[in-house]
């Protein structure tokens, strides 16, 4: 079994109940592969953590942007706590190395792993809330996620990139963008796609992702950045 002391050091928290922390990192597949172990998977903690995360992020956005309407705040929050954002944050704090997964799930480095990382982030929030209380969970979220808020707002990451680039390209160029998958690499459990966005015949930008849709979104975002349309 893994030693979670290093993770506790990283987040500056010593759990009273170590089993809750272990549970936060335990994926259902690990239980299925080790039926004799007396441990639980993390799905209930994920359910709890999701609710805590929503409350903490909503409270922060409500206070930080007093003049922004509810609909736009909802978009900010969605961008901050979506799967991509939570998975990236999980990787940044090294959460990946503490996961308890089946051998099959351990090999998956693509979209499936991103989902697991995002769900585990929520599980850790849930575990912190149960073991340390609301303030500890709030601090963890503030330390790891709140630094992303300004970038989300400044770069309009709360807007769907494909919708925004279509809107801007029609306005500025009079064309509707199109997409093409340029390459597809890797085994089934670790696919990587490269998509191109075209304005007419011009290849405007390329983006990569663990799915075709993710690659197209990345290409759209890149085109927005390179054209300077995020500043408009």
In the chain, count H helices and then E strands: 12, 3
Query: Has residue 107 got a pLDDT over 80?
Result: no
Query: Has residue 167 got a pLDDT over 80?
Result: yes
Instruction: Name the H helices within 25-160.
Output: 28-33, 43-64, 70-81, 83-92, 103-107, 111-132, 134-144, 149-154
Tens digits of residue pLDDT in 57-68 = 999 999 999 999
The span from the CA of 177 to the CA of 197, in Å, is 7
pTM: predicted TM-score of the whole model, two decimal places: 0.79
Query: Has residue 108 got a pLDDT over 90?
Result: no
Share of the chain above pLDDT 70, in %: 97
The catalytic position among 46, 50, 60, 105 is: 50
* Residue 96 annotated as catalytic: no
Mean pLDDT for the stretch of residues 73-98:
93
**Measured in whole angstroms, how far is the alpha carbon of residue 65 from the centre of its chain?**
22
- The predicted pLDDT at position 110 comes to 67
The span from the CA of 64 to the CA of 58, in Å, is 10
The long-range contacts involving 147-151, CB below 8 angstroms and separated by at least 24 positions, are 148/80, 148/85, 148/89, 149/60, 149/61, 149/64, 149/76, 149/80
Which of 19-23, 37-41, 193-197 bottoms out in mean pLDDT, i.e. has the lowest?
A: 37-41
Which of 19-23, 105-109, 140-144, 159-163 bottoms out in mean pLDDT, i.e. has the lowest?
A: 105-109
Tens digits of residue pLDDT in 30-58 = 999 888 888 899 999 999 999 999 999 99
The span from the CA of 166 to the CA of 43, in Å, is 38
* Residue 167 annotated as catalytic: no
The catalytic position among 46, 105, 108, 122 is: 122
Tens digits of residue pLDDT in 199-219 = 999 999 999 988 898 899 999
Ordered domains of the chain (ranges, CATH): 5-154 (1.10.1520.10), 161-231 (3.30.160.20)
């Amino acid at each position: 079994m893994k030693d979670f002391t290093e993770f506790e050091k990283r987040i500056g928290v010593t759990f009273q109940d170590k089993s809750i922390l272990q549970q936060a990192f335990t994926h259902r597949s690990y239980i299925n592969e080790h039926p004799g172990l007396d441990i639980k998977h993390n799905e209930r903690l994920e359910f709890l953590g999701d609710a805590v995360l929503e409350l903490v992020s909503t409270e922060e956005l409500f206070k930080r942007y007093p003049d922004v309407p509810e609909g736009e705040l909802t978009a900010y929050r969605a961008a901050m706590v979506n799967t991509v954002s939570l998975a990236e944050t999980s990787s940044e704090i090294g959460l990946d190395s503490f996961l308890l997964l089946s051998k099959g799930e351990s090999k998956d480095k693509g979209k499936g792993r991103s989902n697991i990382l995002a769900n585990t982030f929520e599980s850790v929030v849930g575990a912190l809330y149960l073991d340390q209380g609301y303030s500890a969970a709030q601090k963890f979220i503030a330390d790891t996620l709140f630094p992303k808020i300004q970038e989300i707002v400044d770069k309009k990451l709360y807007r769907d990139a494909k919708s925004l680039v279509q809107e801007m390209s029609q306005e500025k160029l009079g064309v509707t963008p199109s997409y093409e998958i340029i390459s597809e690499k890797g085994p089934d459990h670790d696919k990587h796609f490269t998509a191109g966005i075209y304005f007419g015949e011009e290849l405007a930008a390329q983006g990569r992702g663990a799915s075709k849709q993710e690659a197209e979104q990345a290409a759209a975002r890149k085109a927005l950045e390179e054209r300077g349309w995020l500043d408009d």
